[in-house]
């Protein structure tokens, strides 16, 4: 935990709570001048003061890691680096000052940039035939989950209450317990049968839940859990949904489905037993999936939610990517700064895993700023609905900070320093020279073109002197 990141975060949290430096300093038992030095990264924070800060500001220690500021700063660099906004580069120091010192203004800048991107796409012919503006509800939902660190205590409580009532006895018996609950409590009949252009279909009139015969067993169990969540966790889901204040009906429905999926995962993988198993198995995802009768992706997703105050698992990021580089899911409890627009680094294990489907690939990835993460990924496939369609293939990847690597089985046998692979957030935001995988030149550097020399990278550039 760097001193700089703590200073930025303390200032943001204090501002959000409408506290003056004098008021917060009095509560901490230090002088206002000392707090001012801390916020401006001129004094270190002792362990005892760090604990008192967390208690006074009513946050978990992990929130003082600066993850929020880092993600905002990445978004601002991406926005300010857009060549259509002009050629004058914004220095990193100014970006960091805006993200740390004026977080509300920084978020407003990002919101305007995203709106401008949508408007620009509309103007180039991507608008709907009706002329209605594209609102990108998926981005709104991703932001909501990210802002909550992909953890929702109210939904965990609802799932735990329901799981206790089911009392399956063992993880392997959960699917049967859910099916019996659907039948006895709600009169829902579950059948497995051929389905045309669908994997799951529920008919409220006949109270019948049809699951496609092409679904594997673990997916059938998850769909039953989703149905039970719809029937018995509605109040908890709607309570969380109300906090989101979704901008459109589409965003609200997409968020509602995501929250119901969250409850389903928490039901088949109850927090306490799952966290205990994850720590005992050292986050061996395949072993966790086998123990709880779930898929690799379902186990990964659940691991990314283990952020309960007082019972926290290793903070991981989670991402799901298709062969074209489209991100369909992402969460970042580990503080990995995802780029919002454009593709990610082709050197990242998320993309190289496609070459060896079905096996877990491991990488120690180092970002240009020196931050490093233990990453692991696996290429997976989904069932096809009908013959002749290409089988959907995607990669599920996770990662944690190297400080947590000893708690994760995938670090065994790795020299965490020598095994580092340099990656960037995206080619346009990466200033690594001589990268043979570079697809675009960096936004903040001038190209240096020489017909007499051919290097490893198709784009040579001069250092930024701004």
> If residue 189 lies in a helix (H) or strand (E), which one and from where to where?
strand 189-193
Q: What DSSP state is assigned to residue 406?
A: G
Query: Domain spanning 314-426 has what CATH number?
Result: 3.30.450
Considering the domain delimited by 153-308, tell me its CATH architecture.
Orthogonal Bundle (1.10)
Backbone angles phi, psi at 393, to 5 degrees: -125, 140
> If residue 211 lies in a helix (H) or strand (E), which one and from where to where?
strand 208-212
pLDDT tens per residue across span 24-73: 999 988 999 999 888 887 887 877 788 888 888 887 666 676 666 677 77
pLDDT tens per residue across span 330-361: 887 667 777 666 567 888 999 889 988 889 99
Show the tokens assigned to 399. Answer: 């990662």
Show the tokens assigned to 261. Answer: 């999926």
CA 352 to chain centre: 20
CA–CA separation, 393 vs 149, rounded Å? Answer: 27
CA–CA separation, 274 vs 400, rounded Å? Answer: 18
Q: Where are the domains of the chain?
A: 3-126, 153-308, 314-426, 431-466
3-state secondary structure of 324: coil
3-126: in CATH 1.20.140.10: no
Quickly list H helices, 322-384.
349-352
Quickly list H helices, 103-248.
103-121, 137-147, 153-166, 174-186, 217-232, 234-244
Burial (CB count within 10 angstroms: exposed 0-12, middle 13-18, buried 19+), residue 438: buried
Residue 153 near residue 260, CB atoms below 8 Å? no
Question: pLDDT by residue for the chain (466 residues), tens digit each?
Answer: 344 457 878 887 888 788 999 999 999 889 999 998 888 878 878 777 888 888 888 876 666 766 666 777 777 877 776 666 655 667 777 877 787 767 778 878 877 777 666 555 544 434 444 444 445 678 788 888 887 888 999 999 999 999 999 887 777 789 899 999 999 999 999 999 998 878 899 999 999 999 999 888 889 999 999 999 999 999 999 999 999 988 888 899 999 999 999 999 999 999 999 999 999 999 999 999 999 999 999 999 999 999 888 898 999 999 999 988 888 888 876 677 776 665 678 889 998 899 888 899 999 999 887 889 999 999 998 877 677 778 889 999 999 988 899 999 999 999 999 999 988 877 777 777 777 777 777 766 656 666 766 666 666 666 554 4
Residue 293 near residue 268, CB atoms below 8 Å? yes
> If residue 398 lies in a helix (H) or strand (E), which one and from where to where?
strand 393-401
Q: Pairing between strand 200-203 and 208-212?
A: antiparallel
Quickly list H helices, 41-133.
47-57, 67-80, 92-101, 103-121
């Amino acid at each position: 935990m760097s001193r700089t990141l703590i200073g930025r975060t303390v200032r943001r949290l204090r501002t959000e709570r409408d506290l003056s430096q004098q008021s917060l300093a009095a509560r901490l038992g230090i002088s206002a001048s000392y707090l001012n030095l801390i916020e401006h990264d001129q004094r270190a924070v002792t362990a005892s003061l760090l604990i008192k800060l967390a208690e006074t500001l009513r946050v978990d220690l992990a929130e003082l890691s600066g993850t929020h500021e880092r993600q905002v700063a990445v978004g601002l660099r991406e926005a300010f680096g857009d060549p259509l906004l002009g050629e004058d580069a914004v220095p990193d120091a100014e970006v960091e000052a805006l993200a740390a010192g004026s977080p509300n203004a920084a978020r407003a800048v990002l919101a305007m940039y995203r709106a401008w991107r949508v408007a620009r796409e509309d103007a180039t012919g991507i608008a709907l035939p009706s002329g209605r503006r594209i609102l990108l509800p998926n981005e709104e939902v991703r932001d909501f989950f990210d802002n909550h660190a992909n953890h929702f205590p109210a939904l965990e409580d609802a799932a735990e209450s329901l799981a206790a009532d089911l009392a399956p006895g063992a993880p392997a018996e959960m699917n049967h317990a859910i099916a019996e609950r659907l039948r006895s409590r709600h009169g829902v009949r579950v059948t497995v049968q051929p389905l045309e252009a669908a994997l799951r279909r529920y008919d409220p009139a006949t109270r019948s839940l049809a699951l496609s015969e092409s679904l594997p067993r673990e997916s059938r169990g998850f769909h039953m859990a989703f149905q039970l969540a719809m029937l018995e966790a509605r109040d908890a889901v709607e309570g969380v949904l109300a906090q989101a204040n979704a901008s459109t009906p589409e965003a609200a429905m997409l968020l509602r489905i995501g929250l119901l999926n969250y409850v389903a995962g928490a039901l088949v993988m109850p927090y306490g037993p799952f966290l205990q198993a994850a720590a005992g198995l050292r986050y061996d995802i395949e072993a966790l999936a086998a123990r709880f009768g779930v898929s690799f992706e379902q186990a990964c997703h659940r691991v990314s939610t283990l952020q309960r105050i007082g019972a926290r698992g290793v903070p991981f990021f989670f991402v799901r990517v298709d062969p074209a580089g489209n991100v369909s899911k992402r969460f970042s409890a580990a503080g990995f700064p995802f780029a919002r627009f454009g593709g990610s680094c082709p050197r990242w294990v998320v993309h190289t895993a496609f070459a060896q489907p079905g096996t877990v690939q491991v990488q120690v990835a180092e970002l240009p700023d020196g931050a490093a993460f233990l990453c692991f990924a696996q290429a997976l496939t989904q069932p096809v609905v009908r013959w002749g369609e290409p089988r959907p293939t995607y990669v599920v990847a996770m990662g944690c900070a190297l400080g947590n690597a000893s708690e994760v089985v995938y670090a065994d046998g790795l020299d965490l320093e020598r095994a580092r692979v340099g990656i960037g957030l995206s080619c346009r935001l990466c200033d690594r020279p001589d990268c043979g995988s570079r697809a675009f030149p960096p936004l903040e550097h001038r190209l240096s073109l020489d017909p007499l020399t051919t290097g490893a990278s198709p784009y040579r550039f001069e250092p930024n002197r701004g």
